[in-house]
Amino acid sequence: MAPGIPAAMERPHFIGIGGAGMSGIAKILAQRGAKVAGSDAKESATAEALRALGATVHIGHAAGHLADDATCVVVSSAIRADNPELVRAGELSIPVVHRSDALASLMGGLRSIAVAGTHGKTTTTSMLAVALTELGLDPSYAIGGDLAGPGTNAVHGEGTIFVAEADESDRSFQKYDPEVAIVLNVELDHHANYASMDEIYESFETFAGKIVPDGTLVVSADQSGAVELTRRVRAELPALTVVTYGESETADVRVHKIAARGLTSEVTVVLGGKFLTFTVSVPGRHYALNAVAALASGVALGIPAHNLASALGKYTGVKRRLQLKGEAAGVQVIDSYAHHPTEMTADLEAMRGAASDARLLVVFQPHLFSRTQELGTEMGQALALADASVVLDIYPAREDPVPGVTSALIIDAARAAGADVTAVHDKAKVPEAVAGMAKPGDLVLTMGAGDVTDLGPQILDHLSS
C-alpha cells in the first residue's frame, strides 16, 4: 500500500495550482484524501479536473484565497515574492514548501524512478507510467504533461513504485532520493539559473549522488554531455551502479536498430546478450531512445525485460509531444512542445521522416527571453528543416523583457540558413495566415512551450471554412 498524507500536506494551498508540475502534486494529494486548495491565473481544464477531485480552485491571486487553517503553502520557482497569497502566508506564519519538497514527501517509502535531462523527461516518464500500469503494478506518477490515454498528468496508485519527472531547471531534482535515476541528456539550458556547463554537471552529479544505496543510474551512452557526466560519476561515485543505453557500441543496453514505420518505430535492442524487439507508437529516433531508457530503468527495478518491452508498446503519446490535433482540407495539424534547439531539430526530423514528400509548415513561438538570447541562432537554424515557418513574438512566461532580445534573433538566423520565415506579431492573425499558406497534403506543426498550442484548433477551423 502507498503511504498516506504527510502531516504538513493535510490542508495544502497551491499558488499556481494549474501548472503542470503543481497540478500533479495537488491531484495526488487530493486522491489520497487531503483537503486541497489553490489559485491560478486563469480557468483551465486542469482547474476543472482538480475540482472534480474535490479541490478548491480560485481564479486570480488574492490574500483572501488563503485559508487561515492551511497547513502549508506550496510554491514553484516561478512564484514571485510579492504574490499576495505568499505575503499572506508569511503574515499567518504558514510554512512555505517548494514544489520539489512536496513531491519528495509523496515519494517517501516508495520505490521511485526520477527522470531527468534537458529533453525527453515528460515522454520517458509517461512511457514508464503507461507500461507499469499495463503490467498491473498500479504505480503512482507525476508528469509534466497529460497522457493521451488517461488524459491526466498524475495518479495516486496503490503499488510500490512512484515515477516522477525530475526538474533540473532550478536544481529542485536534488531533493529526491530515487532508487533509479534516469539522465537522458545534459545540455546548457535554463540560463537564468546556470552560468556554465560546469554548473550543469555539478548539479547532475549532486542528483546522481542522491540515489539510494544499491540504486542505479541509467544514462545515455550517445549524448556528449551525458557521456561526460558518466565519466565524472564513475570517478566520484565508484560504488554506484551505472547502466548506459543507446546506439553506442559501448552501451550496456545497446540499440541495434530503429526502423521507422510511418508514425511508429520498431526498436531492436541487445540486452544481456539477447535481441529484443518492440514497437514505439510515436515517430522519431529520439522517442525510440526515450523508450529504451524506460526499458533499462524498469529492468533495473527487477521487471522482466520482455514484459516491459511489450507494455511499452501501449504508450500512445503525451499531449503536446507530436500530438495530432486534427485534419481539415487535407492538412494535418500537429502540436509540439519543443522549445530548445535540440528538441526542435529532433521533432522536425521526426516529422520530416513521417511526412514523406509532404510540405512541413511550422508555427514557432520562442519561450523565454534568456533562452532566446543564448540559443536564438540555433533555433533559427533548426527552423531551416521546415519548408516554411511563421515565428511569433517571445512568450515571456516568468521573465521580464530583455532589451534587444526579440524573435528577430531567430528570424535572422533562420533566413541566413536559407529558411523561408514570416514574422507575425499578432497571434490572432496566425490561423488565417497559416490556412492561406497550407495546401492539401501539408503538415502544420505548432511548436513551443507557451500558448502557441491554442492555435492548432483555430488553424483547423480556418482550414475548414
Active site residue ranges? 121-122, 165
What are the phi and psi torsion angles at 268 (to 5°)?
Answer: -115, 125
Amino acid of residue 383: L
The answer to whether residues 317 and 151 touch, using CB atoms and an 8 Å cutoff, is no
C-alpha cell at 326: 486534427
Helices (H) and strands (E) in the chain, counts: 14, 21
Which one-letter DSSP state was computed for residue 212?
A: P
In terms of phi and psi (left: phi > 0; alpha: psi -120 to 50; beta: otherwise), the region of 262 is left
Residue 339 C-alpha from the chain's centroid: 11
Beta bridge partners, 260, equal 265
Beta bridge partners, 364, equal 391, 447
The answer to whether residues 221 and 185 touch, using CB atoms and an 8 Å cutoff, is no
C-alpha cell at 186: 545534459
First to last CA, the chain: 53
Q: Which residue has the cell 480556418?
A: 462
**Of 292, 208, 283, whose CA–CA distance to 248 is shortest?**
292
